[in-house]
Amino acid sequence: MAHHFESKQWSDASKILKHGVNLGIIENSFSPIESQETLKTIEEKFKGLRVRINTSLDWKDNLIRKIKSAGWPELPSYQQFFCDLVENFSKLTETTELGFRFEPVSSNMCVFLHVDHVRLRAIATLAGETTFWLPNEYANRDGLMCQNDKLVMKKNAKLSQLPQGSVGLFKGSAWPANDDNAIIHKSPPFIPGSAIRLLLTLDTL
Ligand SMILES: [Fe+2]
């Protein structure tokens, strides 16, 4: 059985709940921000934010207000995308407490292949290069934790990359019985002075 799936519809997202599946890719979920003018405004004003959301309460206005007060410009289609993603992810995971993190990436923290100790994480790159992932068949899991990609990738292994505009559903090692099947991934390198990279992650808490 394939351990990952791709779809253009959120209605397929529940495939990620199946045992053995560790990555779901929901394509065409949003348009990546490409306008240089918009990116410049974001770079100058947007500080990023990390918030807890409780979807059993009235959360949408609150979330939008916090995003705006973090310097996010008036971009209604993205505000809609954030709310839809939170709602869909909350339903998918049957969880009301979520961690919403949306920030410009400014470090090289996750540039080696690794797994996350989370249950399930949604990842969307709104601008810049997207996350890399390693198909299971190319993985040597004994090499994890060494901060050396060569030890994790089998000979002739090929890295894959999330398509632009997609949401990745990454199943981590904290998911029940998924310790040896957590999705292996890494961020593209951070190069100071290069184009801004905007990363949104959503976690169950
Ligand atoms: Fe990670």
CATH code of residue 183: 2.60.120
Tokens of 18: 């199946």
Residue 95 is given by DSSP the state -
Q: Give me the pLDDT at residue 1, please.
A: 67
Measured in Å, residue 152 CA sits from the centre of ligand 1 at 15
CB environment 165-179: b (16+ within 10 A), e (fewer)? bbbbbbbbbbbeebe
H/E run at residue 127: strand 120-127
Q: Give me the pLDDT at residue 72, please.
A: 96
Q: What is the pLDDT of residues 108-145, one digit of tens each?
A: 888 999 999 999 999 999 999 999 999 999 999 999 98
End-to-end CA separation in angstroms for the chain: 29
Asked if 49 contacts 62 with a C-beta cutoff of 8 angstroms, the reply is no
Residue 19 is given by DSSP the state T
Q: Give me the pLDDT at residue 67, please.
A: 96
pTM of the shown model: 0.96
Measured in Å, residue 112 CA sits from the centre of ligand 1 at 9
Measured in Å, residue 182 CA sits from the centre of ligand 1 at 10
Domain count, the chain: 1
Measured in Å, residue 110 CA sits from the centre of ligand 1 at 6
Measured in Å, residue 45 CA sits from the centre of ligand 1 at 26
Radius of gyration of the chain (CA): 17
Tokens of 100: 């919403």
**What residues of the chain score a pLDDT lower than 70?**
1
DSSP symbols for 36-94: HHHHHHHHHH---EEEEEETTS--HHHHHHHHHHTT----HHHHHHHHHHHHHHHHHHT
Which residues constitute the domain of residue 186? 4-204
Tokens of 102: 């949306």
Measured in Å, residue 123 CA sits from the centre of ligand 1 at 10
Q: Give me the pLDDT at residue 108, please.
A: 83
Measured in Å, residue 64 CA sits from the centre of ligand 1 at 26
Q: Give me the pLDDT at residue 191, please.
A: 87
